[in-house]
Amino acid sequence: MFTRLLRTLFWLLLWLMAVLLGPGGLLLFADRLDAGLAALLACLWLTLACLSLPVVLQVLLRRVWLFAGSGAPVDEEALRGRLLGINNLDAPVRVAERRRRLVVGWRHDEVQWCELLSRRDLRSLYELHLHIDPRTRTVTLMDRRRPVQFLFCPEGVRTGRPRVVLPLLRLRPSRLGSVEQYAATESFQYDFLPREIKGPVLGTILQSGWNVRFSLI
């Protein structure tokens, strides 16, 4: 993970240098350009730089943050079954099937877990969206945050639409675990942090022989 983080920071630094050095070319023609035109060109360059940042991040995530599965890959149904098996556990985590994706999140609308979540004074709920590609045996993970208000549990919980956020990258390979660990975790042991969802899910997919890729969208 640390090596991937360094590679990501390196390429982002190169992008930043290109953004900062790009306007330098205008200085060569500063005496020939109208002040208004020079300011307009500088604004256009800054706009293009801002628009390019999400594209750069997406490319880096998909190329740098790619993990190879271990062992022979199981079939898609077996992988889905293992992930959906979370719903049979006495745990605050659940998996929902939405269109062509699986969405892993907290059981905020169930009394037991809603009360625990509300005590954390959370303003948003973490979700992990999974897109399974059986052709390449690759699962794409996308981090999301959904605004939430706990007025009273569980009927008074108000949630908004999920928002794109930067992915959680601080995960130790030796501590990923698997979804089976939810069965042995007591309710008071949860801190309701993103790593408590992403780590076990990531570990389970890799242990099933499937590759994992991080992505923004």
What predicted TM-score, i.e. pTM, was given to this entire model? Answer: 0.88
Contacts of 49 (CB under 8 A, 6+ apart): 19, 22
Domain ranges of the chain: 2-64, 76-215
- Tokens for 86, please give them: 């979370």
C-alpha separations of 99 from 17, 102, 103, 129, 167 in Å: 41, 8, 10, 11, 22
Which residues are paired to 147 by β-bridges?
A: 124
73 token code pair: 């890959």
CA distance 191 to 164: 22
Q: Is the dihedral of CA 171, 177, 180, 181 positive or negative?
A: negative
- Residue-level pLDDT, tens digit, the chain, 217 residues: 778 889 999 999 998 888 877 665 555 555 666 666 666 777 887 888 888 899 999 999 999 999 999 989 999 999 999 999 999 999 999 999 998 899 999 999 999 899 999 999 899 999 999 999 999 999 999 999 999 999 889 888 999 999 999 999 988 777 889 999 999 999 999 999 999 999 999 999 999 999 999 999 8
